[in-house]
Chain A
Amino acid sequence: MTSRGFDLLDADECLALLAGRSFGRIGAKIADDPVVLPVFYALLDGEIVFRTDPGTKLIAAVLELRVAFEVDDADEGWSVLVVGRAHEVRAARDVASLEARLAELWPAGERDRLVRIEVERITGRRLHPAG
């Protein structure tokens, strides 16, 4: 038991937790100020994948930039943090392949764009039970 009150999770444990969830938050910067925005995501081939609304000029704030992505469960007492670059999935074959896998999770909009976050760094914590 550590004096910090929590255990650090290894990458495999973190990925397992991410694989079991579909709701997370992206941390990015817009005009130099941090923002946190929730998204529904899927962990596919070791990457975080989510849909975007086209036509939001601010999407440029995340593409090709390093963002944070977080998933947690306050009741279970764990959190996972991913840091990595966000890229748009452009190649038609890749888009079709991902859409086929995502179709069961949530329906696609007509002009949705797909974004993937590659995992450069992944860390996690699990709190020790109180008492």
Chain B
Amino acid sequence: MNDPWLEPLTREACLDLLRHGTVGRIALVVDQGPIILPVNYRLVDAPSGPLIALRTRPGNVIEQAPESVAFEIDGVDQAGHEGWSVLVRGELLHATPNSPEFAEIHDPDSWLADRNAWLLIDPWAISGRRLHGQETLWHYRPGEYV
């Protein structure tokens, strides 16, 4: 049987995919239970290492999140034959416009000027997989990621 899990992505490949994406999903556990939310994000290449910057509205449920979160981006081609996924696990930080981390977010787009809160994810694990072949069997194999 074709084993689709043939190509783990290098850290650099994961960072490159993160660098080019704009929408991802954050997963966290709040009082109401587990949630996954799509969010706009940017990868910030800070001197201390890569950070995921999330745009969120003040008061959004994400802001009350506990510190440990997961963040994921993925893609599947139209035919469903090629796919990839990157998983980031990290700590959630709050960034104010005066903070050094915020200064690293170079964003010419206007929505940065909105009165939105910024959250940063400081990764402690980045992993990814590329899926090839005619059978895209994304079996549930968390062992590939952790």
Interface residues of A (CB under 8 A from B): 22-23, 25-40, 50-53, 56-59, 61-62, 66-70, 72, 74, 79, 81, 83, 106-107, 109-110, 112, 115, 121
Contacts and interface: CB of A to CB of B under 8 A. Distances in A.
A37 to B, nearest CB: 6
Interface string B1-13: 1000000000000
A115 B35 contact: no
Given A37-B87, A58-B146, 20 more contacts: A23-B138, A25-B27, A25-B72, A27-B70, A34-B28, A34-B34, A34-B69, A34-B89, A35-B145, A36-B71, A37-B142, A38-B138, A50-B140, A53-B140, A56-B143, A62-B140, A68-B36, A72-B38, A109-B139, A110-B1
Interface size range of chain B in the complex: 35 or more
B70 A81 contact: no
A37 B145 contact: yes
A34 to B, nearest CB: 4
Chain A contact residues, majority secondary structure = strand
Contacts of A109: 1, 137, 139
Contacts of A121: 33
A23 B139 CA distance: 12
Q: Which 6 A-B pairs have the closest CB atoms?
A: A36-B72, A70-B36, A68-B34, A27-B27, A53-B139, A74-B23
Contact of B25 (A29, A57, A72): A72
Contacts of A29: 29, 34
Given A50-B140, A53-B139, A56-B141, A36 B27 contact: yes
B87 A35 contact: yes
A106 B81 CA distance: 11
B56 interface: no
A8 to B, nearest CB: 14
